[in-house]
Amino acid sequence: MTVPLTAYLVVGALLFAIGVYTVIAQRSGVMILMGVEVLLNAIGLNIVAFWRFTAPGDYSAQIFAILIVTVGAVEMAIGLALVMLLYRQRRSVDVDAYTDLRR
- Nearby residues of 92 by Cβ (< 8 Å), 6 or more positions away: 86
Within a domain: residue 82?
Answer: yes
57 SS3 class: coil
Can you give the pLDDT at residue 33?
86
Print the domain residue range for 57: 5-94
Within a domain: residue 52?
Answer: yes
* CA 39 – CA 47 distance, rounded (Å): 13
In the predicted model, is pLDDT for residue 103 greater than 70?
Answer: no
What percent of the chain has a predicted confidence (pLDDT) above 90?
Answer: 26
Can you give the pLDDT at residue 101?
67
Within a domain: residue 99?
Answer: no
The 10s digit of each residue's pLDDT in 22-69 is 999 988 878 888 899 899 999 989 988 888 888 878 888 888 888 888
Within a domain: residue 103?
Answer: no
